[in-house]
Amino acid sequence: MAATKLKITAFEHYSELKILINHPMENGRNRDVNGQLIPAHFIQELQIVRNQSLLINLQLGPSVSKHPLLVFHLEKLQSGEKIGVSWIDNQSQSDSVEQIIS
Amino acid sequence: MKGHAIDRRQFLSKMLKTGFGCLLASLPFPSVAAWPSRLFAHQSMDQVLQQLNLLGDWRQSDQLQIQIPENAEDGASVPMQIQTDLSHISSLRILVEKNPTPLILQWEIPDGVLPFLSCRIKMAESCHVWLIAEADGVCWFNKRWVNVMKGGCGTG
């Protein structure tokens, strides 16, 4: 169900990271067709690692929309550098992707 | 008196076991601060700010740019983009004043990362969206009013 996509685009002065995650981001306040509360299920932390060192540790709450699309700008990445993106949610599910700059 | 002594012994032994359990639980992620559940809990924005306890001067600045539609049809997905020309920004936070869980996200900005983020957020009702940035002992903030046609935070 959960899938993470990462797209890195180089611009003149920076590199853009586009991250799309297939995730329900349920805040625990919505009800299903039977009127039962759907348990909270949302991403709590998203980490971006550049060449083995932690660059960004984004902490999220349940008020981020479902299927989050997050865009970051980093200083221009050089060819051969490695970017890793990983996340973990409140139900301890997680996923990660990696990309080497060509 | 004897009863007391046993109680104390049991208490101490339980305390040690619990302490050991906590230690074990904290082992897998030693390098990163734990997700702050209290900051992201159901509460008012004032309560979040109280907990954050951000020190320094609070100054409003239009250099903290918030791009967000003035009228949002569906509060379940409101696109927004934040960025700033201010220098030495060390952290960014987005808060939605009237949401049940007002703190949307927060992150610390190291060298090599530009103070920019684009994302989609949920909004329960029409209110201000706040951006707060810490920099050199100053708390820069800016806010934008958004009219929400349909709440996007569920009914609880």
Whether chain A has a CB inside 8 Å of the CB on B155: the answer is yes
Residues of B in contact with A61 (CB under 8 A): 39-40, 101, 103-105
Instruction: Please state, in angstroms and as integers, the Cα–Cα distance from residue B128 to each residue in A27, A37, B71, following that order.
Output: 20, 28, 12
A35 — pLDDT class (breaks 50, 70, 90) = very high
Residues of B in contact with A73 (CB under 8 A): 113-114, 116
User: In whole angstroms, what is the distance from residue A85 CA to residue A83 CA?
Assistant: 7
Closest CA to B79 of A59, A68, A22: A68
pLDDT at residue B10 is higher than 70: no
Question: Is A27 within 8 Å of B101 when comparing Cβ atoms?
Answer: yes
Can you tell me whether residue B18 is helix, strand or coil? helix
pLDDT at residue B24 is higher than 70: no
Question: Is B118 within 8 Å of A64 when comparing Cβ atoms?
Answer: no
Query: Residue A27 is nearest to which of B105, B112, B154, comparing CB atoms?
Result: B154
ipTM: 0.93
Whether chain B has a CB inside 8 Å of the CB on A99: the answer is no
Closest CA to A84 of A71, A70, A68, A96: A96
Which residue, chain included where needed, has tokens 């903290």? B64
What's the whole-model pTM score? 0.85
Can you tell me whether residue B42 is helix, strand or coil? coil
